[in-house]
């Protein structure tokens, strides 16, 4: 029972981060990208800023000029440039920022190595579901959204499975 409590606590920690200044749609996209990445270290806050406020924050925190995200490691806070959220590379931005948190490093190579691992976790599930869904759903965008949702469900089940196994004496389920 203790193992189950510890697992639930870590799952609860994952949901405690705050998202500031984002529209409901942007917040949902950010949370989905973070959930799918399954980071080992979650941010405490994600702050979405317009271009002017973002540039000001870059100056205040002496962040290097970059592609639309930077991380304050001490505060575990991720800053995102609003226009960058609406591009196709939201997953890359989020996982790269989470890579900095996970490695606790400002080195771009370290962050990108961790980001690559996080991207692979979610993509393996999406790639498995997409061909099956495309048989029934003709709209490519809708099929990808459905594959993404199913991947999240699969990842959630995978996260909880080890805790369930620790609580019982049964053999692991495949």
| 174: in domain | no
CATH number for 144: 3.40.390
The CA distance from 156 to 150, in Å, is 10
| 17: in domain | yes
| 119: in domain | yes
The CA distance from 106 to 89, in Å, is 21
| 50: in domain | yes
User: Which pLDDT tens digit goes with each residue over 102-151?
Assistant: 999 999 999 999 998 888 776 777 778 888 888 888 888 888 888 877 87
| 109: in domain | yes
| 156: in domain | yes
| 152: in domain | yes
DSSP H or E stretch at residue 134: helix 108-134
Classify strands 69-72 and 77-81 as parallel, antiparallel or unpaired.
antiparallel
What is the domain count for the chain?
1
Expressed as residue numbers, the domain containing 78 is 2-167
pTM: 0.68
| 172: in domain | no
The CA distance from 163 to 174, in Å, is 14
User: Which pLDDT tens digit goes with each residue over 15-67?
Assistant: 689 999 999 989 988 998 898 888 999 999 999 999 999 999 999 999 888 77
């Amino acid at each position: 029972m203790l193992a189950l409590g510890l697992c639930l606590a870590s799952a609860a920690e994952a949901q405690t981060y705050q998202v500031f200044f984002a529209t409901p749609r942007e917040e949902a996209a950010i949370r989905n990208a973070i959930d799918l990445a399954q980071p080992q270290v979650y941010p405490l806050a994600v702050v979405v800023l317009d271009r002017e406020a973002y540039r000001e924050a870059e100056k205040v925190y002496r962040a290097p000029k970059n592609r639309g995200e930077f991380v304050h490691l001490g505060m575990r806070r991720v800053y995102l440039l609003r226009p960058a959220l609406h591009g196709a590379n939201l997953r890359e931005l989020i996982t790269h920022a989470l890579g900095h948190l996970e490695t606790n490093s400002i080195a771009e190579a370290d962050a990108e190595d961790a980001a690559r691992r996080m991207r692979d976790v979610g993509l393996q599930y999406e790639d498995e579901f997409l061909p099956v869904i495309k048989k029934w759903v003709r709209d490519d965008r809708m099929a990808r959204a459905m594959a993404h949702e199913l991947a999240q469900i699969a990842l959630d089940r995978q996260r909880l499975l080890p805790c369930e196994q620790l609580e019982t004496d049964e053999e692991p389920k495949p």
